[in-house]
């Protein structure tokens, strides 16, 4: 593992402590232009996500209404009733996004796929850097807001469903994440800059509770608007 990757992991609570947990849940309050653009404004404004820390699985509940929840894995998305009955399913979900652009509407299972992979990636970062097949290397530093941030280029294996194969993490002097860049492959490779802040300690692990995502320009600077996605987290629990 790259030395910077180890520094980041240690700053967030350490791999040994992290590996003592198997599930994570958090209450989300979400906003931004993306949800309405994709045809689902308001559906996930106030929900709870639960992720598995031993495999790639995430569930949002409620999913639009109290009677529904989602189940995401890389190979299958399901919308379920509160008692677990399958209401709708989408096998091989990533294949369904072929030809999509940023403006292409999503079906509800496609929304569940994106929301699932996004929150699974966000909540497992930076500990995801220690997973088999994930490669990382430090690249040149970056100047922003009168600060110098170290940067880590990350490459994910095809076995992990995430925004894009290559992503970049920006790191402050304290080892905590400041920014996370990726291209959303399932939305026409749309470039995004994801700002991370307001850390809180939960059971010995540091979690950012404020996330703001903006378009990324060709010069690698974020646009001031539109706000693509906002995520505020509370009630974070590890078990």
Low-confidence ranges of the chain (pLDDT < 50): none
- Contact (Cβ atoms closer than 8 angstroms) between residue 63 and residue 82: no
The CATH number of 3-238 is which of 3.30.70.260, 2.60.40.10, 2.50.20.10, 2.40.40.20?
A: 2.50.20.10
pLDDT at 1: 84
φ, ψ of residue 96 in degrees (nearest 5): -75, -10
CB-based contacts of 11: which residues, under 8 Å, 6+ apart? 174, 175, 176, 206
CB-based contacts of 39: which residues, under 8 Å, 6+ apart? 105, 106
pLDDT at 59: 98
Q: Do β-strands 229-238 and 23-31 pair in parallel, antiparallel, or remain unpaired?
A: antiparallel
Q: Do β-strands 166-171 and 177-184 pair in parallel, antiparallel, or remain unpaired?
A: antiparallel
Secondary structure of 84-126 in HEC code, one letter for each residue:
CCEEEEEECHHHHHCCCCCCCCCCHHHHHHHHHHHHHHHHHCC
Helix, strand, or coil (residue 130): helix
Domain ranges across the chain: 3-238
Cα-based torsion angle of the residue sequence 51, 188, 137, 217 in order, rounded to the nearest 10 degrees: -110
C-alpha separations of 64 from 49, 61, 87, 108, 198 in Å: 13, 8, 13, 9, 27
pLDDT at 162: 98
């Amino acid at each position: 593992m790259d030395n910077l990757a180890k520094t980041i992991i240690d700053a967030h609570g350490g791999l040994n402590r992290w590996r003592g947990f198997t599930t994570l849940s958090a209450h989300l309050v979400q906003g931004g232009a993306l949800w309405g653009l994709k045809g689902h404004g308001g559906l996930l404004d106030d929900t709870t996500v639960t992720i598995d820390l031993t495999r790639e699985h995430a569930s949002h509940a409620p999913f639009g209404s109290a009677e529904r929840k989602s189940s995401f894995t890389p190979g299958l998305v399901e919308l379920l009733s509160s008692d677990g009955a399958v209401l709708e399913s989408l096998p091989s979900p990533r294949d369904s996004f072929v030809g999509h652009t940023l403006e292409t509407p999503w079906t509800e299972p496609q929304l569940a796929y994106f929301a699932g992979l996004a929150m699974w990636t966000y909540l497992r970062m930076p500990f995801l850097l220690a997973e088999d097949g994930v490669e990382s290397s430090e690249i040149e530093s970056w100047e922003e807001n009168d600060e110098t941030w170290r940067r880590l280029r990350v490459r994910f294996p095809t076995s992990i469903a995430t925004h894009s194969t290559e992503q970049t993490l920006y790191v402050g002097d304290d080892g905590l994440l400041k920014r996370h860049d990726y291209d959303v492959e399932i939305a026409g490779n749309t470039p995004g800059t994801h700002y991370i802040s307001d850390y809180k300690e939960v059971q010995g692990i540091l979690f950012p509770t404020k996330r703001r995502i903006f378009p990324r320009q060709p010069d690698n600077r974020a646009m001031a608007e539109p706000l693509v996605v906002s995520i505020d987290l509370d009630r974070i629990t590890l078990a």
